[in-house]
Chains A and B, each alone.
Chain A
């Protein structure tokens, strides 16, 4: 009994030490900006783990098809489809794949998923675990648009870019908000450079915590930006429901065209998409 007691105590102190370590990590993880608003969104309301092979769940995900007007406004080169060559689930991972092929007058095909009219929410924590593709002219994104966009055209509807990235800068993540007076090249934006690692060699978690008058941007355990109404050069349009988009674009004004060294196909791997909301909402 004595022995056992002694053991227990040792283990407990070890556990305590572990807690202490975790506590320190947690504290340091949150201490990037002492003035930030840290919210607790713990109520999981969307949990897409892509566990069923084949097409993504049509109750959550729709598709944009085609090459849009002016390449979705950015002179993008791809034609979006919902074919399995461009979007499918395999082994618990959603694969969004850009192919180099002649298709409906475009040189590339890819896919763009969206939750418009299927899942829309005001505020919350939105995150996805993604391994990004790479190469000149490759432009993946995980982002949101204001759900009233049909009545209130962009940029009035607002846009939150949780993750976008240029394939030629494989360590640089860009998080932004767009709205009236601060859209396109004038978006309120911040880059985050991953040190001693890249976004195309492993999965990373890209997320936002979004509440009244703030959007916090994080990647993995790093909170790298907070945008509040004071940061904007126009009105705050982020107090209404938004829907989610995920896509892999090729070319366009933001990244430039692929070159001879860009390898195809390129695939964006999405392990999960999760949305939480505040219990009190």
Chain B
């Protein structure tokens, strides 16, 4: 009987020792190493700022329209306690700035947020407006772990907002405690006020079912060349909240682990920058905290892309849209996203020369931000490269008229109102070579070309443009 007892005790002793050893192995690498740890306080604003810099609110640049005057605290309004943050969103024509936004920074070296799963706060508005963006991780430095939630609906009563942390294990030293940006887009230009209270990082335990995405969950197919630089975009993390709502946040690239299926074709770094280095096809995918992100990039490289012929016309005779050889006459929107368009447009760096790569085009355009006065000019130049036979591209040069608005008959695609155009087919293309076109500003443009506003591109479907400019001989 006594023996038996001893055995039991020994067993328990051993077991205890085992557990003790096991758990101590998990917690520390060695007795000699001590990692620096940072404050694990999750509070940001309760009735006063908690551990923030003296400025408390660090505004976006007033030179870029941010209004630094509309920020303060309000001792008459609080969800809990005695005070809240009050933000007065200005009208767009406010002389102090047409929108309000900025960040709160930790006053120390940063905080250890690994024990939390969400940024939460209570908010109420003077009206039912929508705050454009809120988040954290923006520190006006690298913004390495920036997180943004968009379109936060205000109620005129207090409402709790939950912004999930995409992967808190990354946040061992974060300074960017809070970020917001608000304008009057949803109130027709009328200013309004919103209050924020009980702003803190929390461990809710109910942030679950992660569903990360790259390229907004789309499987993108892209042609590229050795030397091409591409960027993984559309980075998001979605969690299911206790309310059953799926909350999506935009997550910085550093939350993701990117992977290339063939490192001899394309390599991808921790910022999601893809460099094409060889011939073949590589699939770029990502994981976030061990969960495979939906969406991918299949990049196919046919080897190196020859440089387009270097333009030789004197700059004085040229108004450029897209070329390294000339200063652009206007900036342009190269991906206007027309309804029904299937086109993917990427500006790809080809050994120092940017080219415009179009994939799966049905119709798209290049919309000039400012119209081009081509009254003294006679031709449009464009260099075109194709990788497969039979590609033909329809090009329409559009003058948008005195009202400077692109007006198209949605039934037949023809210009209407005071718009006119000239249409030209880019044909006779040779695979694997640049073909240069000199297109006369003819047809209706002969008498109306002082408000050139767009190039419309049809068919293809896959082609590359470079050196797009208007000129006179």
Contacts and interface: CB of A to CB of B under 8 A. Distances in A.
Given A8-B9, A11-B13, A169 B208 contact: no
A197 B205 contact: yes
A46 interface: no
A159 to B, nearest CB: 26
A170 B9 contact: no
A134 B205 CA distance: 16
Interface in B417-460: none
Interface string B207-237: 0110100000000000000000000000000
* B9, B13, B16, B244: residue with the most chain A Cβ atoms closer than 10 Å: B244
Nearest to B10: A11
A200 B209 CA distance: 8
Contacts of A7: 9, 13
Contacts of B109: none
Nearest to A193: B242
B263 interface: no
Contact of A261 (B16, B203, B246): B246
Interface string A152-179: 0000000000000011111100000000
B246 A170 contact: no
A14 to B, nearest CB: 8
A14 B20 CA distance: 14
Interface in B178-214: 203-206, 208-209, 211
For A134, A166, A198, A263, the residue with the greatest tally of chain B CB atoms inside 10 Å of its CB is A198
A102 interface: no
Interface in A173-231: 195-198, 200-201
A15 interface: yes
A67 to B, nearest CB: 26
Contacts of B205: 195-198
Interface residues on A, range: 20 to 34
B165 to A, nearest CB: 15
Contacts of A198: 205-206, 208, 242
Contact of B206 (A15, A135, A168, A171): A171
A197 B209 contact: no
B307 interface: no
A136 interface: yes
Given A196-B206, A200-B209, A261-B246, A170 B13 contact: no
Nearest to A195: B205
B242 A170 contact: yes
A171 B12 contact: no
Contacts of A167: 244
A165 B194 CA distance: 36
Given A11-B13, A136-B244, A170 B204 contact: no
B12 A11 contact: yes
B330 interface: no
B244 A201 contact: no
Contact of A170 (B203, B208, B211): B208
B240 interface: yes
A11 B13 CA distance: 8
A11 B9 contact: yes
Contacts of A14: 16
A167 B16 CA distance: 41
A88 to B, nearest CB: 23
B240 A134 contact: yes
B209 A196 contact: no
A167 B246 CA distance: 12
Given A196-B206, A200-B209, A170 B240 contact: yes
Contact of B208 (A168, A201, A261, A263): A201
A197 B242 CA distance: 9
Interface in B1-31: 6, 9, 12-13, 16
Contacts of B211: 263
A171 B13 contact: no
Given A136-B244, A169-B244, A170-B244, A200 B9 contact: no
Given A134-B240, A170-B240, A261-B246, A196 B204 contact: yes
A170 B209 CA distance: 11
7 contacts: A8-B9, A11-B13, A15-B12, A169-B244, A170-B242, A197-B205, A201-B208
Given A197-B205, A200-B240, 18 more contacts: A7-B9, A8-B9, A15-B12, A134-B209, A134-B240, A135-B240, A169-B244, A170-B206, A170-B240, A170-B242, A196-B203, A198-B205, A198-B206, A198-B208, A198-B242, A200-B208, A200-B209, A263-B211
Interface of A: 7-8, 11-12, 14-15, 134-136, 166-171, 195-198, 200-201, 261, 263
